[in-house]
A and B are shown apart, each in its own frame.
Chain A
Amino acid sequence: MNVRLTKFLLGLGAPLLALALAFGITSLVLIAAGDPVGEVWSTLISWPEQRNQVNIINNAMVLFFSALAVSIGFRMNLFNIGVDGQYRVAVFAAAVVAGEAWLPGYLNTALAIVAAMVAGALWAGFAGLLKATRGVSEVIATIMLNFIATSLVAFLLAKLAVREQGSNIIGTKLIPEGSRIGGFSIGDAPAQVYGFIVFSVLAGLAYWFVLNKTRFGFDLRATGASSTAAVASGVSVKRMTILTMMASGAIAGLVGLPILFGSAYNYGSTFQSGLGFAGIAIALLGRNHPVGIALGALLFAYLDEQSNPLQILVGVSPDIVAITQGVIVLTVVVSYEIVRRYGVKLEQRRVAAELEAMRTTSKQTEEVAR
């Protein structure tokens, strides 16, 4: 068969296999839990309303940054589990800077974005520095830094926070209106798509360009593939470790910003948390490619959005919704692996067959020559 066609079919096979597996396993879980299978699926795959579309895009935007940050590390075999802490420190820094409004209008916004990226980069940089100079595993260092970040931000929030009358929520000062980033509407939905989406697209393009078209990106991928080979060809692995962690942290610094500038306008006790860990799953789903990550983020945001209708309209417990998400991630990872192995086997068979054919033809020619 045509090699290209095989590759195309294999590429298509993985997601299809994943969907079929996820469909089957989730249905079994639903039957076991005694939930109405048909209704769950018809709710789950119904086309979202405009207001839900807005939420899905907004949520995906946030998850996209998180996954992008994780995947930079993945490309160099660095497991940055610390996105959670990095984005928390960063969004807090941005909220304080933007809330204080030292500069007018969008200059203030720009300063806050830079502050967030620097804060994220420095926070991740600690872990990189520890790894490069002392050989501390970045997994341990980033997890510990997550805890420190949570406590540090909580401590600072308690110091700086203002509290609205009658409310039990505390938060930083509101960002002045001139520094907020507007959005655009889909139809007549009440909420708007965050204008920050522009930065998501730019970040995705920059990620692709830097990794594939620059010396830095080559060094990064080379170190990830084999650090000994990279050293042999003159790459400073220590320097790359620190720089990569800082780049990952800088992107992580953007995670909370769409929410900060688009809807929350301050950082407080109910700011969305746990975004760093979803990013790990999405980076795996998207196979470290910006387009794949964007699709993975959309899928996650879509499933999150369907949680409420499933609970309210169908009466399914939220745990079942969480199980569905877990099943989908697992089946995607597993089916990619199955398809990859099958592809390798096909390749081996093809090569073996060609070799066999060559051997017989060469034997024949030998015989003919005799």
Chain B
Amino acid sequence: MGRTTKFAAAAAASILVLTGCGSNSDDGDSGNGGGGGGDGSGSDVKVGLAYDVGGRGDQSFNDSAAAGLDQAIEEYGVESSESEAEDGEAETAREERLRTFAEAGFDPIVAVGFAYSSAVGVVAAEYPEVHFAIIDDSANELDNVSNLVFAEEQGSFLVGAAAALKSETGTVGFVGGVETPLIQKFEAGYVAGAEAVNPDIEVDVTYLTQVPDFSGFADPARGKTAAQGMFDGGADIVYHAAGGSGGGVFEAAAESDNLAIGVDSDQYNTADPSVQDVIFTSMLKNVDVAVYTFLTEFVENDGEVEPGTTTYDLSVDGVGYSTANEALIGEFETQLDEFKQQIIDGEITVPDAP
């Protein structure tokens, strides 16, 4: 097994190298053509996507944004370029990332993550003719900035209710990646949802790291330890809002024969097959929908988009819960959909801070 894996890896590596060499000159040519810009064939929309730390391939937040862009590329043939943030980088580096896009003629520019908040404010003011979108932040009120935010507390309410319905011990857990106001929204909704079903339920809450240490979003080992502690303490379902650390939560659930709840994307479909069965449901935060909708509006209205804040909530399926694990979640769907309707109708107001 070990040997074949190694051989496969070596073969794959050499193929990568060879194809790399082969496509080298092509890349150079197309790069030169694209770099000059302006003489666009096909769609003349050039989208710049600035990722948060982790970038494309993080199986979570950034990947979801990338999926929205990919869909727009397929649908409208827009051109695109991407760039990702480094952990703990300078504010000027974020500004410069957006500025480099703007200088190279990219319009619109999508900034993924609240860390870009002040950078978008600065650069959008410098380039008033370029359109910006920022995800998870609504602090900017410029005419060329669209704020795309989500009602994470509403989706979390539903998975909280699901956890309370399923729990046999009367104790459930929440593992947050980094203690920021954003992740506290997940916590608040989850606790409210669980208590709506069972007022006596006990909810264990823990956060892996504190700002400005953002490693809690990419530390599976720590996620596993935190979840293990909760399972040992009597919890039988743990919800994580911890990005890449969630893998550890799933492992801990699988090893102790308990359940876990995923976040952002439908993790039942993306997680490792060995832990798939323990993923009871996932809180869906459809960043891809937001990115795609923004780009669609931009392309179809010839570059005119509504500035200001758009909230993606339950009513537009911006957030939700996954029913991929039919065997486990199936029996609760009617009850959960009732809660969903009540939230949409305004009969239930979900708190967004603990």
Contact = CB atoms under 8 A, between A and B. Distances in A.
Task: Report if A and B associate in a common complex.
Answer: yes
Interface of A: 31-39, 51-52, 55, 58-59, 62, 150-151, 154-155, 157-158, 163-170, 190-191, 259, 263-264, 268-274, 304-305, 307-309, 311-315, 318, 322
Interface string B323-353: 0000000000000000000000000000000
A154 B16 contact: no
Contact of A167 (B16, B21, B35, B137): B137
Nearest to A88: B212
A55 to B, nearest CB: 5
A59 B91 contact: no
A55 B209 CA distance: 30
Nearest to A164: B139
A103 B89 CA distance: 32
Given A166-B138, A312-B81, A32 B17 contact: yes
Contacts of B20: 31-35
A307 B97 CA distance: 9
Nearest to A274: B88
Contacts of A166: 137-139, 147, 309
A85 B55 CA distance: 27
Contacts, number: 151
Contacts of B81: 311-313, 315
Contact of B21 (A31, A158, A190, A269): A31
Contact of B28 (A39, A268, A305): A39
Contact of B104 (A62, A150, A312): A312
A167 B83 contact: no
Contacts of A314: 31, 35
Contacts of B17: 32, 34
A191 to B, nearest CB: 7
13 contacts: A31-B20, A34-B20, A35-B27, A39-B28, A157-B210, A166-B137, A169-B118, A170-B180, A191-B95, A269-B212, A274-B88, A312-B97, A322-B86
Nearest to B87: A274
Contacts of A35: 20, 24, 27
Contacts of B306: none
B209 to A, nearest CB: 8
Nearest to B20: A34
Interface in B1-56: 16-17, 19-21, 23-24, 27-28, 31-32, 35, 48, 55
B83 A191 contact: no
Contact of B210 (A62, A150, A169): A150
**Most chain A beta-carbon contacts within 10 A, residue among B48, B96, B101:** B96
Given A273-B87, A312-B83, 14 more contacts: A34-B17, A34-B23, A35-B24, A36-B28, A154-B209, A154-B211, A158-B179, A166-B138, A167-B138, A168-B136, A168-B182, A307-B86, A312-B48, A318-B55
B24 A36 contact: yes
B265 interface: no
Contacts of B88: 272-274
Contacts of A32: 17, 20
A157 B117 contact: no
Report, nearest first, the 3 A-B pairs whose CB atoms are least far apart: A34-B20, A154-B210, A273-B88
Contact of A311 (B83, B95, B106, B126): B83
Interface of B: 16-17, 19-21, 23-24, 27-28, 31-32, 35, 48, 55, 81-84, 86-93, 95-97, 99-101, 104, 106, 114-115, 117-118, 122, 126, 136-139, 147, 179-182, 209-213, 309
Q: Name A's interface SS.
A: helix
A275 to B, nearest CB: 8
Contacts of B309: 166
Contact of A273 (B24, B118, B212): B212
Contact of A269 (B122, B126, B139, B211): B211
A259 to B, nearest CB: 7
Given A36-B31, A39-B31, A313-B35, A271 B24 contact: no
Contacts of A308: 83, 93, 96-97, 100
A168 B114 contact: yes
A168 B180 contact: yes
Nearest to A155: B210
Contacts of A311: 81-84
B91 A259 contact: yes
Nearest to B138: A166
Given A32-B20, A58-B92, A274-B87, A313 B104 contact: yes
A269 B27 contact: no
Contact of B32 (A39, A268, A309, A322): A39
A304 to B, nearest CB: 7
Nearest to A269: B211
B90 A259 contact: yes
Most buried by A among B48, B83, B309: B83
